[in-house]
Amino acid sequence: MKIILQENIEKLGTRGQIVEVAEGYARNYLLPRKLALQATAGNLKQLERIRTRLAKIEAQEHSAAEQTAGLLTAASVMLQRKAGQNDQLFGSVTSADIAEALEAQGIQVDKRKVALEQPIKLIGEYNVAIKLHHNVSATIKVVVAREGEPPAAATATPAAPEPAPGLAPAE
């Protein structure tokens, strides 16, 4: 089934693009969520008008993402969690935790935009990428410290643990 995308969908295409997808995927997911339009003759005639409308939305979202990226470059997140003797956390730090901590600082970021492949399970400092837009991203420093430990002692840990896959260790 041919559809016209109304939103950027990772691994499928960008706004205004005509793509071929399975009928079930289009009918059950893309069309009900208004992520795409069916590529009918009428919609194909209106495609240029649809693309100009989508280009305006794209420009607005890009500028908002750049502003947020500017705020994120100066931001860092300090999270305190209970941990065992080997600096292993009793829980984990997820993308939702990072998004909540950023929101507490006044920076609105959707948890799905925090590019954390696996939850953080060790105490330490991590650089976490945040994909704000398909070509705008920022990296923030996330410090995970032991609960009850003063912040100065938490950042002065002698040996940083190995980061989980997908994370870059802070320097």
- Structure confidence by residue, pLDDT tens digits, 13-62: 888 889 999 999 999 999 999 999 999 988 888 888 888 888 888 889 88
Q: Are 100 and 158 within one domain?
A: yes
Q: In which domain, by residue range, is 8 found?
A: 2-45
Q: Is the pTM of this model over 0.75?
A: no
Q: Are 80 and 30 within one domain?
A: no
Identify the CATH number of the domain in which residue 163 sits.
Answer: 3.10.430.100
- Show the beta-strand stretches assigned E in 22-163: 36-38, 76-81, 88-93, 114-115, 120-122, 124-133, 136-146
Q: Are 145 and 105 within one domain?
A: yes
Q: What is the pLDDT of residues 104-138, one digit of tens each?
A: 988 888 888 888 888 899 999 999 888 888 788 88
